[in-house]
């Protein structure tokens, strides 16, 4: 793994080996999250003996994983055999306000692990990794009764992701000017609840598939949010002056995205806005999280992809919409505001 030298000082052999072994680091991170180690470190440094006992783990095996995570800056070791939290590992705690635990665990669940393994076949065929792994779209596979655990993990993982990005979106964009905010494909409503806290006079509409809406906590949503079970390829709630699409557009090819955007453009208020909340791929080839997520879309979806600003411009124009502005946030996503052309 990484030595004390900077990445630029590594030999080509060392650099390649670090990349090739990267999956091991990923699995070690999610393994300690599943064992609850970050939660055990919440109150201060702990010895490896106590961590192993409390986590129900083998002391030697856990210690070997922990020393790797120390070397990578994910865990701290203030004294030999004693481990402590860092700002990175704190995000793996269940009760952290911006927890990413469930998201991390999701990325090594079967729905993700098996599909990325199919990348060579996906590249050869031009078909998604999920079609090679499961013979069907991911959403269909997740709806099978025997995969309920995977479905639940996906939903909790995406809610985990929303905990950080939703706050970033709410603080970076002015929602107070809207009266009726519709969250299209809004899951269990975390983003909508966060946004409404910044728009006290607005009401919200949470729109998703009936099975997803059924899992939303109505007490948490409160009386300002109306729940609508619908397939956004068929219809969306009418008369919103703000329609949010967070991590929806990147799931689909242009034709299906255009269908969703057409449905919105047809029923939105004349002066309404469509907010696409997604990553914007840079035009230049620089290290950026959007490139990694783009490969996730390649293997996980049929046609999903990350897009550049120009690609968003073209997609919106094809649905009779115009990109007005892009608002960066202190997270990987931006808010793209569009109006009727």
- Give the pLDDT score at 3: 45
Mean pLDDT in the chain? Answer: 93
pLDDT at 173 over 90: yes
Residue with tokens 């449905």: 263
- 247: annotated active-site residue: no
Q: How confident is the model at residue 2 (pLDDT cuts 50, 70, 90)?
A: very low
Q: All domains of the chain, ordered by start, with CATH?
A: 7-96 (1.10.10.10), 110-340 (3.40.50.150)
Calculate mean pLDDT across residues 128-148: 92
Distance between CA atoms of 248 and 54, rounded to whole angstroms?
Answer: 40
Q: How confident is the model at residue 62 (pLDDT cuts 50, 70, 90)?
A: very high
Q: What is the DSSP string of 210-254?
A: HHHHTTS-HHHH-TTEEEEE--TTT---SS-SEEEEES-GGGS-H
- Give the pLDDT score at 332: 93
- Give the pLDDT score at 7: 59
- Give the pLDDT score at 8: 65
- Over residues 212-237, the pLDDT tens digits come to 899 888 999 999 999 999 999 999 99
CB atoms within 10 A of CB 21: 10
Q: Is 257 exposed, middle or buried (0-12, 13-18, 19+ CB in 10 A)?
A: buried
- Over residues 75-105, the pLDDT tens digits come to 999 999 999 999 999 999 999 988 899 999 9
Of these residues, 112, 132, 188, 250, which one is catalytic? 250
Which residues touch 54 (CB under 8 Å, ≥6 apart)?
36, 40, 46
pLDDT at 66 over 90: yes
- Give the pLDDT score at 155: 80
pLDDT at 241 over 70: yes
Q: Which long-range contacts (CB under 8 A, 24 or more apart) does 87-90 make?
A: 89/32, 89/38, 89/41, 90/38, 90/42
Specify the pTM: 0.86
- Give the pLDDT score at 1: 42
pLDDT at 273 over 70: yes
pLDDT at 4 over 60: no
Calculate mean pLDDT across residues 146-173: 87
Residue with tokens 């603080």: 171
Distance between CA atoms of 80 and 337, rounded to whole angstroms?
Answer: 52
- If DSSP codes are grouped into helix, strand and coil, which group holds residue 49? helix
CA 147 to chain centre: 20
- Give the pLDDT score at 139: 85
Q: What are the start-end ranges of the E strands in the chain?
A: 46-47, 76-79, 82-84, 180-184, 203-208, 225-229, 242-246, 273-278, 280-281, 307-308, 321-328, 334-340
């Amino acid at each position: 793994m990484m030595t004390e030298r900077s990445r630029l000082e590594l030999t080509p052999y060392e650099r390649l080996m670090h990349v090739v072994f990267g999956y091991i680091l990923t699995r070690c991170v999610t393994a300690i999250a599943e064992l609850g180690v970050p939660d055990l470190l919440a109150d201060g440094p702990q010895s490896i003996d106590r961590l192993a006992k409390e986590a129900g783990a083998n002391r030697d095996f856990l210690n070997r994983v922990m020393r790797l995570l120390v070397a990578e800056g994910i865990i701290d070791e203030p004294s030999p055999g004693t481990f402590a939290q860092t700002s990175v590992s704190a995000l793996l705690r269940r009760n952290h306000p911006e927890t990413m635990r469930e998201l991390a665990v999701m990325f090594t669940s079967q729905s993700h692990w098996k599909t990325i393994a199919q990348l060579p076949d996906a590249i050869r065929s031009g078909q998604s990794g999920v079609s090679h792994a499961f013979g069907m779209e991911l959403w269909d596979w997740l709806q099978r009764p025997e995969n309920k655990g995977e479905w639940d993990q996906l939903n909790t993982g995406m809610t985990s992701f929303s905990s950080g990005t939703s706050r970033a979106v709410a603080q970076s964009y002015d929602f107070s000017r809207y009266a009726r905010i519709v969250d299209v494909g809004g899951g269990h409503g975390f983003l909508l609840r966060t946004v409404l806290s910044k728009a006290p006079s607005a009401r919200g509409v949470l729109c998703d598939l009936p099975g997803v809406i059924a899992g939303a906590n109505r007490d948490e949503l409160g009386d300002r949010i109306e729940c609508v079970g619908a397939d956004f390829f068929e219809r969306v709630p009418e008369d919103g002056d703000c329609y949010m699409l967070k991590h929806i557009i990147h799931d689909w090819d242009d034709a299906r995205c255009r269908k969703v955007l057409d449905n919105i453009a047809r029923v939105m208020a004349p002066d309404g806005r469509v907010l696409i909340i997604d990553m914007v791929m840079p035009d230049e080839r620089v290290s950026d999280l959007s490139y990694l997520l783009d490969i996730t879309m390649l293997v996980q979806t049929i046609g999903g992809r990350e897009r550049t600003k120009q690609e968003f411009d073209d997609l919106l124009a094809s649905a009779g919409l115009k990109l007005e502005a892009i608002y960066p946030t202190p997270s990987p996503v931006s808010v793209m505001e569009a109006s009727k052309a």
